[in-house]
Amino acid sequence: MNELNKLLQEAKSSVGQGWWPIIEKYLQQMVELAPEGEFFFKEKYGTLRMRVYGKALDHEKLTALEMAAEHESATVCEKCGDPGRLRDDRDWIKTLCDSCLAKETEMNIIIEPNFWVKLKTASARKTGGAYSDWRAAFVGKEGCLSFRYYSKTFQFEYYLDGEEPEDQMISGRIEHVEENGDELNIRTNNSKYAFKIIKKTPNEDTTAYYAYLMNKE
């Protein structure tokens, strides 16, 4: 597998399939401009972020491609690829079509248990390819961890000063959850996380709930 295909796999594991054609459209051009660069892919504030870092890069051309991908993603539903628009009138920001908006509203119902945690470690499950792992930016941060019941994912919001979260992470689909004392280990379809539990609400046994999260139905 060549480097471009490895990067495509990493990028596609980081965002919804509706944006995959955008990634394919711009990534090859970016790799040609920065064959030794470190690549970074994620959804942030509802749009696609494709970034590359390194020395001796043509920053003007790369920035133009990065911005073009970001702006195009704001018009394409991340879930299905149909025409969409940025939805910022809820407690989350996403680019969705009307149909996927209705589904996402249901899928993002948050159900207890919720935790106040510190993220100890986070890493991509797949290795290979030159990219900057955005998960590392959340390591060492404290914040609220909660689960999205229907989509079987979690969200982690960390806070600095003030009442509003500084940033948030939405996980891929959960494949395994294990709670041992004050440590919570979560494996998703593309990442592994270890959290230190500082506070848990409610304090009841969560074994059955974790079993539901790991159910692939």
Where do the domains of the chain lie?
Answer: 1-106, 109-214
Class of the domain covering 109-214: mainly beta
Beta strand 183-188 with 174-180 is antiparallel
What is d(CA 168, CA 90) in angstroms, rounded to the nearest whole number? Answer: 14
Q: What are phi and psi of 135, to 5 degrees?
A: -60, -30
Q: pLDDT tens, position by position, for the chain (217 residues)?
A: 467 788 888 888 888 899 999 998 888 898 888 888 888 888 888 999 988 888 777 888 999 999 999 999 999 999 899 999 998 877 678 899 988 887 776 655 666 567 899 999 998 766 444 444 677 888 999 998 988 877 788 989 888 776 777 888 888 889 999 998 899 999 998 889 999 999 887 656 677 778 878 876 5
pLDDT at 70: 94
- Residue 117 contacts residue 135 (beta carbons within 8 Å): no
